[in-house]
Structures are given as C-alpha cells and as structure tokens.
Structure 1
Amino acid sequence: MGRVVLASASPRRREILSLLGIEFEVVPSGIEEHTHGDPITTARRLSYEKALDVWKSNKDALVIGADTLVFVGKEIIGKPRDEEEAFQTLSFLSGRWHRVVTAVSFVSKGFRKTVHDVARVKFRKLSGEEIRFYISTGEPMDKAGAYGVQGFGATIVERIEGNFYTVMGLPIHKVYEVLRKLTMS
C-alpha cells in the first residue's frame, strides 16, 4: 500500500487506525475548522480539507483525514470554548438523542474518496452535579458535543445505535473497506 499518513492529532483516531495493523505516520492538519451548514456535508468537507492539506506536503503517501461532528436536527454542537459552554452543551444533551457523524477522506496521487457514517447516541438524564463532575475531569474540553464516549463519558451514554467507533472518531469498518479495495486494485 505504500506510505500512509493520518492527518489528525487525535489519540483516539491513532488508536483506532492501529487496530488494522498497518503502519502509518501522524501529520496533523493545520486547517481551521469552520462548522456551518449541513452537518454531514460539513464533516465530509472538513475531512477532505484536512487530508488534502497534509497531502500537499506528503505527495508520496495516502493521506487519511477525518472529522467528527455532533448534531441535533441540523444544529452542529461543537467543541466547548470553556467550562460554562461545556455545562450548557451537556445539559442540553441530557436525556436526549443526538447524532454523531464521522467523515473520512482518502487522498493520494490519483485517488480521492470520502466516506461517512452516522450513529445515534442517547445520554441518560444528568444532574447538574454529575455534569460539573464530568467537566472537572477535563475530558469534555476538546471534543465535539463536550464528551468522549471512550473515556469517563461512557458513564453518561445510555444507548448507541450504530457503530461505536464512529462516535469515537473513526468508523473503522468504512476505513477498512476503502483500504481493502485499494490494496486489491
């Protein structure tokens, strides 16, 4: 397959991609994430922009870029700017269903492909005290929707409909399908 580069600084994405047993390098993208418009279209655009940004300086590689967004209806719920915004976000999601989309783009010389997957997530009803405690762990501060399903945030998730890894930040089944087709051609 040649050289593979993951265009993400996310330790979760590194962990998930390593499940495939392939060697890869990590070169985070420097693009600014503007999240406006349709959530699925936005995630697909951002994943492609990240992959293309890194590919421009790694043209001998297959670059994988990803973006995860949390949304309710068409409203994108981004990463909280501070603890107060994290509290508002988690209070809003408490006891509710929301959706998580993760888009993944593959860019190399002569190859461009973007895939995405959507999962539904329901939080259990949270008290203000529980929300404050979760925020005190620091975990919500760099994550879309102000939670990480793979960490202590697992305690606030009541149900997931769809792929767990999509919620975590990289739908490994979709990544595997694309990589398998690439190695077969």
Structure 2
Amino acid sequence: MTTGFTLASQSAARKAILKGAGVAFDAESPRVDEAAIKTRLLTDGASPLQVACALAEAKAVEVSARTSGLVLGADQTLDLDGRLFDKPVSLDDLQAQLRELRGREHVLHAALAAARGGQVVWRYEGRAVLAVRSFSDAFLEDYLTAEGEMAQACVGGYRLEGLGAQLFERIEGDYFTILGLPLLPVLDLLRREGLAAA
C-alpha cells in the first residue's frame, strides 16, 4: 500500500524526522550517480548551495519518474568559506576535517525538491550557520573514540543530536535543517497537497 508521499532517500536521520512528526511515507533509494553530478557541478564552478539544490532535484526527479504521488528529494552540503566538504571517508579524514573546522564558522545548506511524474513542483533551501569552538586535542581524541564511524556518516563529521553538540559554541538556524531535512516547510507542503491534516 502506497502513501502518496515518497522520500527519495534511505537516510536514517531523514526517515526518523518524518516518522517523529507522524508523517506517513514510503522510502526509495534514488538511482543517481551523486559523485558524478557533484564533480561536474564543481568543475563548472557551482557553489555548495547549488550542488545541494541540484542533487536534491536529481533524486526527486529520478524517483518520481518511476513511482506515483509526490516525491521528496533532499541533499545537504557543508560550506566553509565557499569550499564544499564531503563526508569524511576515514577516521584520519574525519580528524583532519574537524581540525580545519575548529574555531571557525561554517554553513550547512539543506536543499529540498519535490517532484511528481518526473517534474519538479516545489523547491526549498535551508541554511544554518555553525560556530565550532576551539576544542582541545584531548577532546578531539575522546570525540573520535566515542563517535568514530557514526560521525563519518555525517557531512560535517558530527551528529548534533549526539556528542557532536559539544563541538559548538553557537548555532544560528533551524535544528531540522542541521539534521538535513527542514521539517516545517515539508509539513506545510504536505498540508497544501492534501497529504497531511490541515
């Protein structure tokens, strides 16, 4: 039985956000080559925000072309002074990334796109600014030991809903945007589409 609303993602965090809000949805993995799209965009001089928007749209369009109903695609990028950061691929990469973020501000862009029948019908861009504190090397070592592989699954190398919260001195922006799925605009969209109680 389909719900009429599909999330074009298997992200545990995104699924948990929707489930927590009582949203009925199906989840499908998008069949897009994210790395190839990202490489092409960056080669063409795209900004981290433009990359997030393009990937969200590509996911939504691909899944909506083979499923019925409304499909939501989402993507998130980390922007440090205009440079895009990817998910760390190893613990060494994670450590290097967190050292580079230490004592500095970065931006998380969370892009959403909804599509139906292979056509984008709605877009949203969320933004959060995060100021990383000047944590000690000892804290970083303890953090890597405790979070390790879980942190590697996140674009910034941290889970705000976990120990990652201790990395920050200030955050400006919506909590759900930081988690990668700005929830309130999605709920508004679902109500307007008749897929959630008004």
Partner of 2:99: 91
The verdict on how the C-alpha distance between 1:176 and 1:69 changes in structure 2, with shifts beyond 3 A counting, is same
- Aligned with residue 154 of structure 1, among 155, 165, 173: 165
Unaligned runs of 5+ in 2: none
Partner of 1:12: 13
TM-score w.r.t. the length of structure 1 is: 0.90
Paired-residue identity, %:
27
Structure 1 residue 39 corresponds to structure 2 residue 48: yes
Structure 1 residue 69 corresponds to structure 2 residue 77: yes
Partner of 1:53: 62
Q: Which amino acid aligns with 2:194?
A: T
What is the Cα deviation at residue 120 of structure 1? 0.4
SS in 2 for 1:99: strand
CA distance in 2, matches of 1:32, 1:7: 14
Q: Which amino acid aligns with 1:39?
A: P
Q: Which amino acid aligns with 2:192?
A: K
Partner of 2:137: 128
CA distance in 2, matches of 1:44, 1:26: 20
- Aligned with residue 177 of structure 1, among 149, 165, 188: 188
The 10-residue stretch of structure 1 (107-116 or 157-166) with the greater mean CA deviation from structure 2: 107-116
CA distance in 2, matches of 1:102, 1:9: 16
CA distance in 1, matches of 2:17, 2:168: 20
CA distance in 1, matches of 2:129, 2:152: 21
SS in 1 for 2:111: strand
Partner of 1:145: 156
Contact 2:114 2:122 in 1 (8 A): yes
Contact 1:16 1:170 in 2 (8 A): yes
Q: Which amino acid aligns with 2:28?
A: V
The verdict on how the C-alpha distance between 1:146 and 1:45 changes in structure 2, with shifts beyond 3 A counting, is same
CA distance in 1, matches of 2:12, 2:99: 26
Contact 1:149 1:157 in 2 (8 A): no
Q: Which amino acid aligns with 2:63?
A: V
The 10-residue stretch of structure 1 (12-21 or 75-84) with the greater mean CA deviation from structure 2: 12-21
Contact 2:65 2:116 in 1 (8 A): no
Q: Which amino acid aligns with 1:9?
A: Q
The 10-residue stretch of structure 1 (160-169 or 34-43) with the greater mean CA deviation from structure 2: 34-43
Contact 2:61 2:120 in 1 (8 A): no
Moved over 4 A (4+): none
Q: Which amino acid aligns with 2:60?
A: A
Contact 1:99 1:118 in 2 (8 A): yes
Contact 1:104 1:116 in 2 (8 A): yes
SS in 1 for 2:156: helix
SS in 1 for 2:194: helix
Contact 1:91 1:126 in 2 (8 A): no
